[in-house]
Amino acid sequence: KARQKEDYPTALLWYQNAQRMGMDLRGTIALVSSWANASDSERSLAILERAVRLDQGWLTKEDQIQAVYNYALQLFLLKDYDLARKFFWRTIKLSDQNENFRAFVSMSYLYLGVSYAYQGDLEHALPLLEMSIEVGPRNEWAHINYAIYLYYFDPSKVEEVNEHFHIALDLLPNDLRLWQAVIGFWVDKNFEQQREYCKLATQQGIEAQNLCDGVE
């Protein structure tokens, strides 16, 4: 319960007491400790790295997958894309097509694709982003990123790009970040598309004035 409430110090005490009684919880303790130290990114990363390298003492399979995924994500944010990809693939392998871990798999494919896109390799990026959608069709950011990089790969595919933008917006119609991503994408690219999405945002009650000022 403490962990569900994000009371990580209390959760750590519970796991440490359980370990003193004979349970091997080194992996789970490291995972929770990384959350408890989230404000110190270097320390959090070091804790996660030790946990992932050790790869023992998990309370649940989900803890193991969560730790590997979190480590991959930290590496991605540090722009260490080659190493991040290694651990995103490991996340996918650990999930072993288990429906309970579908979200981890979809997000792993998403970051794999984006990592290649950030390096200008759209031929590798797009199939991975497609896999993210295939595994997680309700992953709104998979649709957003696929649409963006599809356009960069082939600007003639505006219709397909908009299909994925609309799917994302239909999934979470009140999420301002999604509207900002879509409208912001069309700024300086296609005024008509920008104007159309600004109209839709207004109809939805979304305030995106900074992106829609002067757009009628």
Instruction: Return the CATH number at 112.
Output: 1.25.40.10
| 162 and 68 within one domain | yes
| 204 and 156 within one domain | no
User: In the listed set 171, 186, 203, which residue is the last one of a domain according to the structure?
Assistant: 171
Q: What number of other Cβ atoms are within 10 A of residue 20's Cβ?
A: 9
Please report which confidence band the pLDDT of residue 1 belongs to, taking 50, 70 and 90 as the band edges: very low
Amino acid 6: pLDDT: 58
What mean pLDDT is predicted for residues 164-173?
98
Domain of residue 7 covers 1-59
Interatomic CA distance for residues 191 and 83, integer angstroms = 39
Nearest to 134 by CA among 123, 146, 124, 122: 146
Question: Taking phi first (over 0 means left), then psi (-120 to 50 degrees means alpha), and beta for anything else, what does residue 103 get?
Answer: alpha
Chain segment 30-44, per-residue pLDDT in tens: 888 888 888 888 999
Q: What is the pTM of this model?
A: 0.89
Interatomic CA distance for residues 195 and 201, integer angstroms = 10
| 111 and 195 within one domain | no
| 106 and 161 within one domain | yes
| 67 and 92 within one domain | yes
Find where tokens 């319960």 sit: 1
